[in-house]
Amino acid sequence: MLRTPLWTGCLSAWKNGYSYRNLSRFRRCSVMPNVEYEEILYEGFGPGGVAVMVKCLTDNRDSTTANIHAIFNKYGGTLGESGSAGPLFVQKGLLVIAREHRQPGEDAVVMHALDAGAEDVVVNDGSFQVLTAPSTCETVKAELEELNYSFERAEVRWLPQNTVVVEGQYADKLLKMLDALDNDDLVQAVYHNFHIHDEVVARLG
């Protein structure tokens, strides 16, 4: 079976211990001059009951809605109304700091982030994930930059409040659906709340 870049990237991330929060994809589409665009956030559920939110930038709402609806339907998902999946997510600022050999100790990084106004710091093997309120993300980032921190990622995004375990054919269909969404040029980001066990990842890989 042909593995697309998103599929390969997802499997690689799981195998290397990254969480589902690292798998949402961001991409900018080509914006034409003198064309009025609007941002739309679609909400729905994929195979296995996984909550999915899709952010699009489009100049044709009807066409984009029909396309996103078709992708959900093709892989056994359901595109819902506004508010159907949103309550399962929370919007946060996310600053990802890579671990470096010259970096202060773990306690110092956490202290610096909290002193700068972060709400929480998630410590992983390869990075620190600094969580902020959406409105303070840039302020926290600027204060940490003054302390010579650099970031692998700095963005405001939707994070799931809980995860759904996906197995078997649902996992296969879900990855194909996310791959199809990622290949749509108008899709800017995809947020979801799934978790796949290691043995399922090994089988799909």
CATH of residue 118's domain is 3.30.70.980
What confidence score (pLDDT) does residue 202 get? 67
For residue 196, the enclosing domain spans 5-87+160-204
pLDDT of 24 strictly over 60: no
| Same-domain status, 50 and 134 | no
Instruction: Please tell me which residue, 5 or 67, carries the higher pLDDT value.
Output: 67
143's CB contacts (< 8 A; 6+ apart) are: 116, 117
Q: E strands along the chain, which residues? A: 38-45, 51-58, 78-79, 89-98, 120-123, 127-132, 153-160, 164-165, 187-192, 194-195
Same domain assignment for residues 28 and 68: yes
Q: In the prediction, which pLDDT does 185 show?
A: 87
The per-residue pLDDT for range 135-188, each reduced to its tens digit, is 999 999 999 999 999 999 899 999 999 999 988 889 889 989 999 998 898 999
- Check pLDDT > 90 for residue 129: yes
122 and 30 in a common domain: no
Query: How many domains in the chain?
Result: 2
Partnered with residue 194 across adjacent β-strands are 164
Distances (CA, A) of 61 to 65, 167, 195: 6, 34, 31
Give the DSSP H/E element, type plus range, for residue 59. none
* pTM (predicted TM-score): 0.75
